[in-house]
Structure 1
C-alpha cells in the first residue's frame, strides 16, 4: 500500500478519490504534494478497475490556495528548472491518464488550484467556491494557462483573470466555462461521485478515446512552460512579490 504525506487516496468501486490534504496551509501545493499526486496517478493509470477520478481538497475553506510560496525562492536556473519539471510532470500526468478527471471544488481555487479546475474534464463546485489566477500581480506568468485555458474561457475572459488577478465567484466561474455544475457544500462529493459512477458505467474504451481527443495537443503548452518558466521564476519582481505577500505589505516592483 502506497503511503502519502500530503494527500489521501481512496478507491470506491470503479472511482478513485484524491484529496489534497494540507488544511493548515489551505491545501497549498508543495513539491511533496506534486509527487504524491503523481504517485496516485500512477496507481490509477495502471488499474483496470478504476474508470473515473475525483480530485478535491480537505476542509471547507480551500480546494487549494495555490503553490506553496515558501518553495519558490530559487537561487539559480537549475533549482527553478527542477521545480518546473516536478510541476509540469504532475499536470501532464493529470491530463494524460486514460480515466476522466472530475474536480470537486470545495472552496477557494487559487493559482494551481484554479488550474486543476480548468484542465479537469468536468468541474463541480460548491456555492462557496472562488477562483483566481493571481500570478501576474506578483510578477509570475501562468504559462500553461495561456494555452490550456484559452479554449475553456476564450481570450477576453482569460485576459480578465490573468491581467487583473481578481477573484471571481462560483457563478461567474460558471459563466466563464470553468464550472459545469454548482451544488450546496454538503452535496459536493456525493454529486461528484454520482457523475463519476455514471461515467464508470459506460464502455471504457469509448470514454478513454473521447478523453484523449479532448486533451489532444496539450504537449505544446508544456513545452512553452519548460522553456519560459524556469527563467521567469528567477526575476527579481517575482521574488519581491513573494516577499511582500508573505510579509503582508505592498510590493515594490522594479521591472527586473
Structure 2
C-alpha cells in the first residue's frame, strides 16, 4: 500500500529519507517556497514532487519533519496554520530537539497525532542503514514502521512516551558530538606543543567508547576532587595555546558536584544521584 508523505524539509538526511520512500513506491512531496538552490537540487535528485505547503499538508498521510532543530517549532506552527481541522495525518517530529519541545510541537498541532522520532546514524545512501527511533501510540508508530519497511532505514519503537526518542537522541548527542569537539581541542593543544603524534599513539591503545564503561562513573566521582584541578590546569594549557577553554571549565564545574564523594565506594546509582545535584546546589 502506497502512502503520500510530506517532507519538511529535504536537507541531506531528509532527501535521503525521501529517496528511500520514493524507491518503495510512495509519493513524497516537498515545498520549495523559500528553499535554497542546494535544497532544490537535493529534492530533484531524490525524485520529490514540489507543491505548496497547503497542498503538501492537505494531501499527505504522513508529515515527516526533518529540519534544523532551531526551527522545529516554527515548521510545526506553519503546518498548523494551513491544515484543515479534519486532517488526520500523522506528524513525525524527527528533529534533534528536547522532549519539552516535542511536547510544544504536539500542543501546536493538536488534535493532529504526533510521533516523536530521532535518527541515529548517517543518511541512508551508499549502503548506510541509520536507525529511526519512534515513540508514540502503538497505532501511530506501527504505521511509521510499515512505511519504512523494505528501506535501508531501520525502525525501533521505544514505547508510547512522547519525548523518549528525542531524549535518547540528545543523550547520545551529549556524548558523541561533544566528544568530537573535545577531541579537536585536545589534538589542537597537543599539536601546539609538538606532541600531536604522541597523543594519537596513546589514543590508539583504546578500543572501546567511554560511553559503554558505566562502571567507571563511580570511580570518576571518587576521583573528582583531584580531577577537577587537573582539568582547570588543562583549561590554562588551552588558553595559552589560543584554544577555547570553556569546555574544560564546564567539565571542572561538573566534577565539583562530586566534591563530597572523595575516595568513596559508590554505586552507579549513588554517583548519578550526586551528579544530579540538590535543589540548593549552586552548581
* TM-score normalised according to structure 1 size: 0.23
Identify which of structures 1 and 2 has the higher relative contact order when contacts are C-alpha pairs closer than 8 Å and 6+ apart: 1
Per the normalisation by structure 2, the TM-score is 0.21
Give the structure with higher Rg (CA): 2
Q: Per residue, is there more strand in 1 or in 2? A: 1
